[in-house]
Amino acid sequence: MRARCSRTATFLLTCILAAWSVYAQDLPRVRLVATGGTISNKTGGRLTAEELVGLMPGIDRYAKPEFEQFANVASAQITLDQWLGLGKRLNQLFKDDPALGGVVVTSGTDTLEELAYFLDLTVRSDRPVVVVGSMRNPSTLGYEGAANLLDAFRVAAAADARGRGVMVVLNDTINAAREVTKTDTLRLDTFQTRGYGILGVADADRIDFYRKVERKHTAGSEFDITNVAALPRVDILMTYQGAPGDLIKAAVDAGAKGIVVATAGAGATSGTQPEGISYAAEKGVFVVSSARAGSGRIPARQRPADAQPNPRSEHLIQGEDLSPVKARILLMLALTKTQSGADIQRMFLEY
């Protein structure tokens, strides 16, 4: 009787191991591309990409993790040249490896929303790209980096994540790169999408999506950075009571190819800013009006079909609902493709 039970137990164990082996083979491969940030910044040194992967308990239930170290610095130290390099690297990964399920990118939170939106416009694949970080460092009580990273891998491995653009995952929530904003300097729930709401949640039982982004992104983007060597200079200036236009003139004279004005209300400027904007337009510099309020649109002007060309107005672009920092990113990429004001305005309507 004992021998029969032993044989039965062995048979059951063999079946379980075989079933697990088949299941594990079906798990998607997800690659971590680490750039640094608070999520890595422990006292006395920075965690590597390999060490970050080792922090995730139970990752083998959701994905086969891979990793590489792109950089390991604070987000404010990442350069625009590195943005280009990272975008090219992700495109190369997807091109060379059709079986790769998705990519997770770590970033410092201070400029995370900017990096995420840049990738949203330049990574030309419908496979998931998830940008993740943490508000507390690994040496701090309550470090949430490991949980955020595991959620990011789970989202990148989810079949429903395809075609949703670049996503930002922190604090169990999934936000669209185009829409998310860091809203608090310290709180764990700092990344929010005001007005539109989250894309979904990373709950313990499953990844649950609620909606998609309707604007163009990733696989539908026209921005090809393959041969882009450098991004054009675009500066941001803010409207406030009595704001001087000479700051706009100074930016133009310093070589800015575009300027974003974080305007009051739905496009109002102040002080002598209109003079500065006129100066920029006359010099062929594009000026985008974006809202400093944090939400709301600055609608594109309707231009009559029979209107006479006006060099000044051709260089004035309405930023729609993009925040100033994201309007800057779209304008930089637009200027790598065109010098047509009408075409740039179209991009602000479509992206």
For 9-34, the pLDDT digits (tens) are 554 444 443 444 444 569 999 999 99
Confidence of residue 261 (pLDDT cuts 50, 70, 90): very high
* Helical segments of the chain, H only: 2-26, 49-54, 80-96, 112-122, 145-157, 246-253, 273-282, 311-314, 324-335, 341-350
Q: Give yes or no for residue 94 having a pLDDT over 70.
A: yes
| Rounded Cα distance, 335 and 344, in Å | 8
The tokens for 243 are 């704001």
| Rounded Cα distance, 95 and 8, in Å | 48
Q: Which domains does the chain have, with CATH numbers?
A: 26-220 (3.40.50.1170), 234-350 (3.40.50.40)
The mean per-residue pLDDT over the stretch 242-254 comes to 98
| Rounded Cα distance, 157 and 20, in Å | 18
| Rounded Cα distance, 19 and 199, in Å | 33
pLDDT, position 17? 39
The tokens for 125 are 């694949």
pLDDT, position 344? 98
pLDDT, position 16? 42
Active site residue 38: yes
Q: What SS3 class is residue 288?
A: strand
Q: What is the mean pLDDT of the chain?
A: 93
Going by C-alpha positions, the residue among 320, 261, 318 that lies closest to residue 292 is 261
Task: Give pLDDT tens digits for 270-324.
Answer: 999 999 999 999 999 999 999 999 999 999 987 666 666 676 789 999 999 999 9
pLDDT, position 139? 97
Given 38, 109, 111, 239, the catalytic residue: 38
- With both helix axes pointing from N to C terminus, report the angle between 341-350 and 324-335 in degrees, rounded to the nearest 10: 130
Neighbours of 159 (CB within 10 A): 9
The mean per-residue pLDDT over the stretch 64-68 comes to 98
Choice among 4-13, 44-53, 150-159, 264-273 with the minimum mean pLDDT: 4-13
What count of residues does the chain have?
351
Determine contact, residues 55/67, Cβ cutoff 8 Å: no
| Rounded Cα distance, 191 and 351, in Å | 21
pLDDT, position 70? 98
Q: Give yes or no for residue 181 having a pLDDT over 50.
A: yes
Determine contact, residues 102/28, Cβ cutoff 8 Å: yes
Determine contact, residues 320/347, Cβ cutoff 8 Å: no
Choice among 13-22, 90-99, 103-112, 113-122 with the minimum mean pLDDT: 13-22
| Rounded Cα distance, 342 and 165, in Å | 25
- Taking CA atoms, 246 is separated from 229, 239, 254, 293, in Å, by 30, 13, 12, 23
Identify the sign of the CA torsion 323, 180, 188, 84: negative
Residue 337 backbone phi and psi in degrees, to 5: -115, -30
pLDDT, position 23? 45
Going by C-alpha positions, the residue among 300, 251, 297, 245 that lies closest to residue 275 is 245
Question: Cα–Cα–Cα angle for 95, 99, 162, nearest 5°?
Answer: 85
Q: Give yes or no for residue 90 having a pLDDT over 80.
A: yes
Choice among 17-26, 183-192, 340-349 with the minimum mean pLDDT: 17-26
The tokens for 349 are 């309507």
Q: Give yes or no for residue 2 having a pLDDT over 90.
A: no
| Rounded Cα distance, 189 and 201, in Å | 13
| Rounded Cα distance, 257 and 164, in Å | 31
The tokens for 204 are 């313990």
Confidence of residue 7 (pLDDT cuts 50, 70, 90): low
